[in-house]
C-alpha cells in the first residue's frame, strides 16, 4: 500500500520584519489525511507561518509546496481554489447575510464543475450541525455556531488542507468537544488534512497524530503528543508544569 502523499511541505522558511526575526529555518511536512497540531508560546511565529502558507505574506527565504507543487509565490486566492483553506483567530463572516448565504458565496467561488451548489451547501450545513440556523444571521448565533459557520465556509466548494487558527478558543468544554467531533468527522468523511493551532494542549493531544512545536521562531520538536510531552527541550521552553496536560 502506497504511503499518503505529502499535502504540505515547508522547507527552510524564514521571515523577517525589519530587524525582527519572526521565523527562521522552519521545516516540516504534513501528509494527506493527517491531523497535526502547531503549538508554541505567544510570539513563537505560528500566525506568521499560517499567513505564509496561505499566501497572505511572502517568506524572506525558503519554499512552500502543496501536494508536490511549489506555491511559494502563488497568490492566496489561487491557493484557495486549489483547496488550501483556513480560518482566523477572529471570526470573519458576512454579517448582513444568512448562514446559508455565507456558505453559498464561499462555495460558489471554488465549486468543482459538475457539483451542485445547493447540494454542497446543504451537506455542509448538515456536517457542521447548522441546519436549524441556516436562515439566521451571524449576529443571532452563539460563538460556537459562528465558528462552525466559518469552518463551513472555509471547506465549501473544494478543500484538501484546512488550517484552523485557534478555532476552539473562547468555547466552553462541551462546545469545544462538539466542535472537535465535527472537525474529526470532516477529516474522515471528506479526507481533509488538518493543521490546528491551539493552546489547550490536552485538547490537541486527544485529536492530533503529531505536534509541531515552535519556539523562538523555529521548530524545536516534531512528534507524537507523547514524544513531545517527554521532550526535555519542549518541557523547558514551553510546557513546564503543564507537561501533565499531554499525558
In a domain, 1, yes or no: no
Residue where one domain finishes, among candidates 158, 185, 200? 158
Residue where one domain finishes, among candidates 129, 158, 187? 158
The stretch 195-217 carries a mean pLDDT of: 86
How does pLDDT run across 48-106, given as a tens digit for each residue?
999 999 999 999 999 999 999 999 999 999 999 999 999 998 999 999 999 999 999 99
pTM of this prediction?
Answer: 0.91
Domain count, the chain: 2
- Residues 31 and 79 occupy one common structural domain: yes
- Residues 125 and 26 occupy one common structural domain: no
- 3-class DSSP string for the chain: CCCCCEEEEEEEEEEEECCEEEEEEEEEEEECCCEEEEECCCCCCHHHHHHHHHCCCCCCEEEEEECCEECCCCCHHHHHHCCEEECCCCCCCCCCCCHHHHHHHHHHHHCCCCCCHHHHHHHHHHHCCCHHHCCCCHHHCCHHHHHHHHHHHHHCCCCCEEEEECCCCCCCHHHHHHHHHHHHHHHHHHCCEEEEECCCHHHHHHHCCEEEEEECCEEEEEECHHHHHCCHHHHHHHHHHHHHHHC
Mean of all residue pLDDT scores within the chain:
91
Amino acid at each position: 500500500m502506497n504511503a499518503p502523499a505529502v499535502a504540505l511541505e515547508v522547507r527552510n522558511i524564514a521571515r523577517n520584519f525589519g530587524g525582527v526575526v519572526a521565523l527562521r529555518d522552519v521545516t516540516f511536512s504534513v501528509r494527506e489525511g493527517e491531523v497535526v497540531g502547531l503549538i508554541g508560546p505567544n510570539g513563537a511565529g505560528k500566525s506568521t507561518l499560517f499567513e505564509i502558507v496561505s499566501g497572505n505574506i511572502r517568506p524572506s527565504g525558503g519554499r512552500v509546496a502543496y501536494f508536490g507543487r511549489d506555491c511559494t509565490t502563488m497568490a492566496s486566492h489561487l491557493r484557495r481554489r486549489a483547496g488550501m483553506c483556513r480560518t482566523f483567530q477572529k471570526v470573519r463572516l458576512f454579517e448582513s447575510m444568512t448562514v446559508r448565504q455565507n456558505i453559498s458565496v464561499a462555495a460558489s467561488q471554488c465549486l468543482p464543475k459538475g457539483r451542485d451548489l445547493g447540494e454542497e451547501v446543504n451537506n455542509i450545513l448538515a456536517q457542521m450541525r447548522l441546519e436549524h440556523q441556516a436562515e439566521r444571521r451571524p449576529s443571532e448565533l452563539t460563538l460556537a455556531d459562528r465558528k462552525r459557520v466559518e469552518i463551513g465556509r472555509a471547506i465549501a466548494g473544494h478543500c484538501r488542507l484546512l488550517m484552523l487558527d485557534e478555532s476552539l478558543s473562547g468555547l466552553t468544554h462541551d462546545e469545544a468537544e462538539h466542535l472537535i467531533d465535527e472537525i474529526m468527522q470532516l477529516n474522515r468523511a471528506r479526507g481533509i488534512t488538518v493543521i490546528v493551532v491551539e493552546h489547550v494542549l490536552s485538547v490537541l493531544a486527544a485529536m492530533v497524530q503529531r505536534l509541531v512545536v515552535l519556539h523562538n521562531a523555529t521548530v524545536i520538536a516534531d512528534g507524537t503528543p507523547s514524544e513531545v510531552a517527554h521532550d526535555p527541550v519542549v518541557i523547558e521552553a514551553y510546557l513546564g508544569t503543564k507537561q501533565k496536560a499531554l499525558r
